[in-house]
């Protein structure tokens, strides 16, 4: 029998709030976190809106000196991990060096984070200094701040964990894949506890400019940004960049029960696949995405009709939304029209690798509080997207099993399933 894995802690930094309860309240209210970009001058950009994290002070969660050594994506991850460890009752006391060692066997406590692009703001600033001022004026910590693995490295140092510390880099699927890898590490017995999820900080000129050149981002609603992210709507015109981190504390059921931990949900299954099709576009047949969903359902030892709510990748792009609808119909058949499907990206934007962790938390909150997060701005449904996408307002009811899917550039597909914990 597979070792049962449970969720005992959650932490989030997002455009919808920097605590789990603020995030949850925003989901229930159908609140948009999309607005005008404030972090840089967008005069020369067609794209002028994004889902920025607001009022984020890293020193609430870490020493000021340590924060200065981290890129923004690392700060997000460490802050969300600190929240999650506190929620799980595993946060240690601050020591003389400003570290907070976990209250668990550090050799059997691991970290798996997903990240897509690392510290782009650090890359941009050092490149500017290199070209205009010469190499000796570059930021001294350019390399250790910019590389994607440093979020996991910084978290390991902050919390004193000595188990495996990995980074998944599968673009938009990276946060979901990180959760899946963490699930397998615990099932194998290698770790009792894994801090897992995704983090991203993409609201910088280099990243926004790059996605703009791909013609992937919304540009039509710069004067009404809250209406710009509109998954499954016929009037969508591209995705809206987001940023943030969603981190879970995963434990073996045995370990969690032995210490009397509060259990939020069971992490029941994970599936992944590759499209083998295109560097940016999903396979229009939906075969790759369907394989990942089927694999997750099989891993959880469930039937398709057991899934009550599916948090879709739902990017608000011309190709993704109908393709994902096709994926769900392939897997669920008639049940696709009976289950609830929504895209919380309509509210927080596309947080790239951070999305997998953030959206997993949305699924767990849906189980905890019995609500289906809405897809806001769904005013004129695309005829090709004809499922129940929970339009505009949250709906309520008892929920036992949820799933979340992520589709990454390069054809990476990841799906996770959570189930109400019944002991």
Torsion, Cα 368 370 376 379, to 10 degrees, reads 160
Phi and psi at residue 277, to the nearest 5°:
-130, -55
SS3 of 204-236: the string is CHHHHHHHHHCCCECCCCCCCHHHCCCCCECCC
The single-letter DSSP state of residue 304 is G
- CA dist 210 and 13 (Å) reads 24
Same fold, 5-258 and 273-412: yes
Out of 172, 351, 363, 385, pick the active-site residue. 172
Neighbouring CB atoms inside 10 A of 175's CB total 39
- CA dist 144 and 276 (Å) reads 32
- Helix (H) / strand (E) containing 175: helix 174-188
DSSP E strand stretches across 75-192: 109-114, 165-168
Q: Is 264 a catalytic residue?
A: no
355 — pLDDT class (breaks 50, 70, 90): very high
Is the per-residue pLDDT at 278 higher than 90? yes
Is the per-residue pLDDT at 97 higher than 80? no
247 — pLDDT class (breaks 50, 70, 90): very high
Q: Is 412 a catalytic residue?
A: no
Cα–Cα nearest to 367, from 264, 293, 296, 262: 264
Beta carbons within 8 Å of 181's beta carbon, 6+ residues apart: 112, 166, 168, 196
- CA dist 35 and 65 (Å) reads 31
Q: Tokens 């790759």 — which residue?
A: 288
Over range 80-89, report the average pLDDT: 98
Over range 337-359, report the average pLDDT: 98
Summarize pLDDT for 31-56 with one digit per residue, the tens. 999 999 999 999 999 999 999 999 99
- CA dist 255 and 69 (Å) reads 34
Q: Where are the chain's structural domains?
A: 5-258, 273-412
Neighbouring CB atoms inside 10 A of 3's CB total 13
Q: How far is CA 400 from CA 335, 388, 418, in A?
A: 16, 18, 8
- CA dist 159 and 80 (Å) reads 12
Say whether pTM exceeds 0.85.
Answer: yes
Q: Domain 273-412, what fold?
A: Peroxisomal Thiolase; Chain A, domain 1 (3.40.47)
Strand partners, 342: 311
Is the per-residue pLDDT at 402 higher than 80? yes
Characterize the bridge pairing of strands 109-114 and 193-200: parallel
Out of 255, 348, 350, 412, pick the active-site residue. 350
Neighbouring CB atoms inside 10 A of 25's CB total 13
- CA dist 369 and 363 (Å) reads 10
Summarize pLDDT for 158-203 with one digit per residue, the tens. 999 999 999 999 999 999 999 999 999 999 999 999 999 999 999 9
What's the pLDDT at 1? 79
- Cα angle 252-114-145, degrees, rounded to a multiple of 5: 125
- Helix (H) / strand (E) containing 33: none
Q: Is 348 a catalytic residue?
A: no
Over range 115-139, report the average pLDDT: 93
- Cα angle 95-99-104, degrees, rounded to a multiple of 5: 90
Q: Domain 5-258, what fold?
A: Peroxisomal Thiolase; Chain A, domain 1 (3.40.47)
Is the per-residue pLDDT at 100 higher than 90? no
For the chain, what is the largest distance between any 2 Cα atoms, rounded to a whole number of angstroms?
Answer: 63
Out of 264, 313, 348, 412, pick the active-site residue. 313
- Helix (H) / strand (E) containing 404: strand 401-408
Phi and psi at residue 121, to the nearest 5°:
-65, -30
Sign of CA dihedral 339, 343, 344, 350: positive
Is the per-residue pLDDT at 98 higher than 80? no
Phi and psi at residue 28, to the nearest 5°:
-65, -35
Neighbouring CB atoms inside 10 A of 343's CB total 31
What's the pLDDT at 94? 83
- CA dist 252 and 104 (Å) reads 13
Task: Give the tokens for residue 342.
Answer: 């929504």
- CA dist 186 and 201 (Å) reads 28
């Amino acid at each position: 029998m597979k070792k049962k894995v449970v969720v005992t802690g959650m932490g989030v930094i997002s455009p919808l709030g920097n605590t789990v309860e603020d995030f949850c309240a925003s989901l229930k209210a159908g609140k948009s976190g999309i607005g005008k970009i404030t972090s840089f001058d967008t005069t020369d950009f067609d794209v002028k809106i994004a889902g920025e994290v607001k009022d984020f002070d890293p020193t609430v969660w870490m020493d000021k000196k340590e924060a200065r050594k981290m890129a923004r994506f690392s700060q997000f991850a460490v802050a969300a991990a600190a929240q999650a460890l506190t929620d799980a009752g595993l946060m240690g006391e601050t020591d003389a060096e400003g570290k907070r060692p976990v209250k668990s066997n550090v050799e059997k406590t691991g970290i798996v984070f997903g990240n897509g692009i690392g510290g782009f703001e650090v890359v941009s600033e050092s490149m500017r200094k290199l070209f205009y001022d010469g190499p000796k004026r570059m930021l001294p910590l350019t390399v250790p701040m910019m590389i994607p693995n440093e979020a996991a490295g910084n978290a390991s140092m902050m919390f004193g964990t000595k188990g495996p510390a990995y980074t998944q880099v599968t673009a938009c699927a990276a946060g979901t894949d990180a959760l899946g890898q963490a699930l397998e590490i615990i099932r194998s017995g290698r770790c009792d506890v894994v801090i897992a999820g995704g983090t991203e900080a993409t609201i910088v000129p280099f990243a926004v400019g790059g996605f703009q050149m791909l013609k992937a981002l919304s540009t039509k609603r710069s004067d009404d940004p809250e209406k710009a992210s509109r998954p499954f709507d016929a009037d969508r015109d591209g995705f809206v960049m987001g940023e943030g981190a969603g981190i879970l504390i995963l434990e073996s059921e045995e370990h969690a029960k032995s210490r009397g931990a509060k259990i939020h949900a069971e992490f029941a299954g994970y599936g992944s696949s590759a499209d083998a099709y295109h560097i940016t576009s999903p396979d229009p047949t939906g075969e790759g995405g369907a394989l990942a969903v089927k694999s997750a359902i099989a891993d959880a030892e469930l039937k398709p009709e057991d899934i009550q709510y599916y948090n879709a990748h739902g990017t608000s792009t011309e190709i993704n939304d109908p393709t994902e609808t096709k994926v769900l119909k392939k897997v669920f058949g008639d049940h696709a029209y009976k289950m609830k499907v929504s895209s919380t990206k309509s509210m927080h934007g596309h947080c790239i690798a951070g999305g997998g962790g953030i959206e997993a938390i949305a699924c767990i909150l849906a189980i905890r509080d019995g609500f289906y997060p809405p897809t806001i701005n769904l005013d004129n449904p695309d005829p090709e997207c004809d499922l129940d996408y929970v339009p505009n307002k949250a709906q309520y009811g008892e929920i036992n099993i949820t799933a979340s899917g992520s589709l990454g550039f390069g054809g990476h597909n990841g799906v996770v399933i959570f189930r109400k914990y019944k002991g």
